[in-house]
Amino acid sequence: MRAVFRLKLCLLAIALFAGFSAATSAQETGEPQQAAPVNPPALPENHLPGTSSPAAALQAAAPADVQECLQETGDYVTRGRAVFYVIGITNSCAARLRCEIFANVTGVKGTSLDHTVMILGPAGSGAAAKKSYDMRVKAAGGIAQVSRDCKML
């Protein structure tokens, strides 16, 4: 029984070695093949029904990006024993903006999540163009992640 097992094992090893040596010799004797360049297929110029052409969409988006109108600041402030993360936003465009602010501040004492809505006046309106929001946090320092979703009114 052991002899049969050893014989099968030897035949398997010989077959694997023969296949490996044949593959290696085929690679050494063959000419190197060059891969043909692949050209991606051209995209069709068809537009979905009810949508405008991409050129018209670019022209419509060209007037002004809302995010370019905003300057944002953020800093930790301590008042007594309370710690706040103050988010300040200033509008520099001539249009009123409605901004929804989402904040996540992670520090050594835990995470603070909050959101608010700010209505910013046009740039020439003085104090109405500048708003700030005081978010209570658990400790000064850490990582503050703030995102905003602003739309022109």
Pairing state of beta strands 97-107 and 82-91? unpaired
Helix or strand (DSSP H, E) at 153: none
- Residue that wins the pLDDT comparison between 153 and 113: 113
Q: Is residue 57 part of a domain?
A: no
Q: Is residue 76 part of a domain?
A: yes
- Residue that wins the pLDDT comparison between 123 and 61: 123
Percent of the chain residues past pLDDT 70, beyond the cut: 63
Tell me, what's the pLDDT at 81?
Answer: 93
Q: Is residue 28 part of a domain?
A: no
Ramachandran sector of residue 48 (left: φ over 0; alpha: ψ -120 to 50; beta: rest)? beta
Task: Give me 13's structure tokens.
Answer: 């090893």
Percent of the chain residues past pLDDT 90, beyond the cut: 48
Q: Region 24-34: what's the mean pLDDT?
A: 58
Q: Is residue 98 part of a domain?
A: yes
Least confident of 5-9, 25-29, 76-80, 101-105: 25-29
Q: How far apart are CA 37 and CA 21, in angstroms?
A: 31
Q: For tokens 């995209």, what's the residue?
A: 43
Q: Is residue 15 part of a domain?
A: no
- Residue that wins the pLDDT comparison between 62 and 121: 121
Q: Is residue 38 part of a domain?
A: no
Tell me, what's the pLDDT at 54?
Answer: 53
Say what the alpha-carbon torsion angle 118, 123, 125, 126 is, to the nearest 10 degrees. Answer: 90
For residue 83, CA distances in Å to 73, 86, 132, 140, 148 come to 17, 10, 15, 6, 22
For the range 23-31, what are the long-range contacts, defined as Cβ-Cβ under 8 Å and sequence gap of 24 or more?
A: none
For residue 50, CA distances in Å to 34, 45, 46, 47, 53 come to 46, 15, 12, 8, 10
Evaluate whether 56 touches 112 at the Cβ level (below 8 Å). no
Evaluate whether 78 touches 107 at the Cβ level (below 8 Å). no
Q: Domain total for the chain?
A: 1
Evaluate whether 70 touches 90 at the Cβ level (below 8 Å). yes
Q: Is residue 141 part of a domain?
A: yes
Q: Is residue 135 part of a domain?
A: yes
Residue pLDDT, tens place only, 98-139: 999 999 999 999 999 999 999 999 998 889 999 999 999 999
Reported pTM: 0.56
Per the structure, the complete domain to which residue 124 belongs is given by 66-152
Which CATH number characterizes residue 101's domain?
2.60.40
